[in-house]
Copies of this chain bind each other. A is one copy, B any other.
Amino acid sequence: MIHDKTLQIAVIGGDLRQAHLANLLARDGFYVSALCLEQDVYLGDDVKQGEDVQNVLSRSDVIVLPLPVTVDKKNINTPFSKQKLAVRDVLTYAKKDVLLLGGMPDPELRTKCEQMGLTMIDYLEREELAVLNAIPTAEGAIAIAMGERASTIYGSTCILTGYGRISKVLSRLLLNMGARVIIAARKPSDLAWIRINGCEGIHISKIKDYADQADILFNTVPAMILDEEILSCLSRDCLVIDLASKPGGVDFDMAKNLRIKTIWALSLPGKVAPISAGAMIKETITNILTERGIIY
């Protein structure tokens, strides 16, 4: 990749992912400044630190905000820093033609950017990042299953709901580990792919008929699928792992009543593999910059 080495990038706040992202961008030869990332993170020598915030913001061509950008809608999310940095300050100090990149900026923030004529892109909406995130999610799900159970994945029967990105990656891992993998989906073409990929495909309306065979049940659908009817069919030893973002897909209260062990595993990439997650964000950002002609 050839690019303008004079491009100035500010990487602000966030966690280990953001720190690793800064290191990788610097390794690519960009002029990278890190802000609000001074505690318990490793930053390479080629990442500039301790500079004046206003100075950095006002000269940067690209500003990479964390994931999520903010949790209180007021300050940038800076869990690895003692400093506070107001969102409004970032917008105010930034150059007019800056490119703002952030993870899940809230609608309010997006509106404010528009009003100020600033370009804000949510890198989490990029399809390739969603695809890549399926890897640490799937590995994390398997780590949970290994840690919670007294049996091997090999020889176990796993039921997965849905056949989206996570289910595609997770089912292949499980299959390759020697599990029997049953996937509940709806579309005939998904059921065809499931079978081609070596798993058993069942229509989602038939989960109940297979539920008692499950050693592990992974939900990937963000809708109430695992309700009382299905939960009550599960074996007492079955482990339920919900990988769906809110509102999740399991009736947790009912599961508790039925004494079925249930784990709601959210945001696995940042938790189990922040280094890899940082590399994935870096790749996505590189794609964005390339598509916009900023690097080439």
Copies in the assembly, this chain = 4
Q: A122-142 toward B: CB 8 Å interface, digit per residue (1/0)?
A: 000011101110111001101
Say whether A135 contacts B150, CB under 8 Å.
no
Q: Are B173 and A198 in contact, CB atoms less than 8 angstroms apart?
A: no
Is A192 in contact with B151, judged by CB distance below 8 angstroms? Answer: no
CB–CB B178/A176 < 8 A: no
On whether the beta carbons of B276 and A154 are closer than 8 Å, the reply is yes
Q: Please, how many angstroms separate the alpha-carbon atoms of A140 and B177 in the complex?
A: 12
Does A188 sit within 8 A of B, measured CB to CB? Answer: yes
A96-104, A216-224, A267-275: which lies at the B interface?
A267-275
Say whether A118 faces chain B, with CB atoms less than 8 Å apart: no
Which residues of the partner chain B approach A191 to less than 8 Å between Cβ atoms?
128
Contact A155–B276 (Cβ < 8 Å): yes
A166-197 vs B, CB cutoff 8 Å, 1 = contact: the mask equals 00010011001110000000011101110010
CB pair A189–B131 under 8 Å, yes or no, is: yes
Task: Say yes or no for A146: interface residue by CB 8 A criterion.
Answer: yes
The size class of the interface chain A forms with chain B is: 35 or more
A178 touches B275 (CB 8 A): no
Chain B min CB distance to A12 (Å): 21
Given contacts A146-B143, A173-B177, A177-B139, contact A152 B192 (CB under 8 A): no
Q: Is the CB of A188 within 8 A of B127?
A: yes
In the complex the two chains form, is B150's CB within 8 Å of A273's CB?
yes
Tell whether A153 is near chain B: CB-to-CB under 8 Å: yes
Residue A16 interfacial (CB < 8 Å): yes
- What residues on B are CB-neighbors of A127 within 8 Å? 187-189, 192
The reply to whether B151 and A273 form a contact with Cβ atoms under 8 Å apart is yes
Between A and B, 18 residue pairs with Cβ closer than 8 Å are: A127-B188, A127-B189, A128-B191, A130-B189, A131-B189, A131-B192, A132-B192, A135-B178, A135-B196, A136-B154, A143-B143, A150-B274, A152-B273, A155-B279, A169-B196, A172-B176, A173-B177, A176-B176
Closest 10 CB pairs of A and B: A176-B176, A127-B189, A128-B188, A131-B192, A128-B192, A151-B275, A143-B146, A152-B276, A128-B189, A150-B275
- Give me 18 other A-B pairs in contact (C-beta within 8 A), A131-B196, A178-B196 excluded: A16-B150, A127-B188, A128-B187, A130-B189, A132-B192, A134-B196, A135-B196, A139-B146, A139-B153, A139-B154, A143-B143, A143-B147, A146-B272, A151-B275, A154-B196, A155-B276, A176-B176, A178-B198
